[in-house]
Amino acid sequence: MEITEVRITLTNEEKLKAFANITFDSSFVVRGLKVISGAQGYFVSMPSRRRKDGTFQDLAHPVTNELRKKIEETVLDAFEAEVNRKAAAPVEAVVPNGHAQAVEEESRS
């Protein structure tokens, strides 16, 4: 089973850094994985739902540690690439003449 696509959606939250969707063998999608900032770095949380007692239950999860590691490495690599891509992308600003113009990174502060 190969991970053929990973889509990352960044967030602006303190601990929840991104949502991820992964596709296996170009034919099966799992949505709702989360990239979380924890005490020991980033980790990937599987899609889950809250039970009536307040605990969480995974809706989908790997059965083997090997696949769990593969998913986590692939998602975290895609997350890092998306963070770097967003950091490098120029921001468009509307100037008084009404035209959009790229703004350099230093001028964002």
Q: Tell me, what CATH number does 65's domain have?
A: 3.30.1120.40
CA 10 distance to own-chain centroid: 6
Mean pLDDT value across residues 16-35: 97
* Confidence band of 23 (pLDDT split at 50, 70, 90): very high
20-24, 78-82, 102-106: least confident range: 102-106
How confident is the prediction for the chain on average, in pLDDT?
A: 87
**Structural domain boundaries, residue 51:** 3-108
Tokens representing 7 are 């889509």
Nearest alpha carbon to residue 62 among 41, 43, 47: 47
When pLDDT is cut at 50, 70 and 90, the band that residue 87 belongs to is confident
Closest alpha carbon to 18 in 6, 36, 42, 43:
36
Quick one: pLDDT band at residue 105, thresholds 50, 70, 90? very low
Residue 104 has pLDDT above 60, yes or no: no
Kindly state the helix (H) or strand (E) to which residue 76 belongs, with its residue range: helix 65-88
* Angle, vertex CA 34, rays to CA 58 and CA 48, nearest 5: 20
